[in-house]
Amino acid sequence: MPGRTCTGPTAWRTSRTTCSWRRPRSSAAAAATCRRSCSHTFRVDPDALRGEVERFVRERELIAPGSEVTALVSGGADSTCLWHVLGALGYRVSALHVDHGLRGAESDEDALFCREVLGAEVVDGRGGSTEDELRAIRYSFATDRLRATGHTASDQ
């Protein structure tokens, strides 16, 4: 699968995504960052996407306004966009990357991207071999925090 691209002054590239935008401190700057990242990555209207996420979260009372949430990030387009959207909506977002180490240097690149660009805590999640086992390992981390994951409709 070709990498997704978000261009800018200092691009980070992995086999799965390219993003150059650091998370801004202000909500206005966060909205602009989300707009650039999501539109370049998914070719969707970022304001509409942000509105859909906000509506979904509020209708189901998933995250209290302004509260903390940990985005489980892989370095791929889905979780990176989720991280941007949650920040743009005013949540205090941290990131957690679980490194399964299954793809050698590519896994290392993903971990570096998540740490350096998203500020993610990177943890060792080696040990599983099936998708179900790997998912269980990922979800075993940060159980004391509210966690969010980003997936497309075709993901499990």
pLDDT score at 97: 93
Cα separation, 85 vs 148, in Å, equals 11
Q: What is the pLDDT of residue 40?
A: 54
- The predicted-structure confidence for 3-49, as pLDDT tens digits, reads as follows 333 333 333 333 344 444 444 444 454 445 454 555 555 566 778 88
Per-residue model confidence (pLDDT) at position 78: 87
Q: Which residue has better confidence, 41 or 113? A: 113
Q: What is the pLDDT of residue 20?
A: 42
Residue 2 has pLDDT above 60, yes or no: no
60-109 pLDDT tens trace: 999 999 999 999 999 888 899 899 999 999 999 999 999 887 888 888 89
Q: Which of 89, 4, 92, 93 is nearest to 47 (CA)?
A: 89
Judge whether 97 and 110 are in contact, CB under 8 Å: yes
Residue 35 sits at the vertex; the CA angle it makes with 34 and 40, to the nearest 5 degrees, is: 100
Tokens of 98: 């679980």
What pLDDT, on the 0 to 100 scale, is given for residue 156?
53
Q: How confident is the model at residue 153 (pLDDT cuts 50, 70, 90)?
A: low
**Cβ within 8 Å of residue 136, ≥6 positions away:** 128
DSSP 8-class letter at 61: T
The arrangement of secondary structure in 4-149, i.e. its CATH architecture, is: 3-Layer(aba) Sandwich (3.40)
Beta strands in the chain (DSSP E): 4-5, 12-13, 17-19, 68-72, 92-99, 121-124, 147-149
Spans of all domains in the chain? 4-149
> What span, in angstroms and rounded, lies between the C-alpha atoms of 131 and 52?
28
Q: What is the pLDDT of residue 152?
A: 66
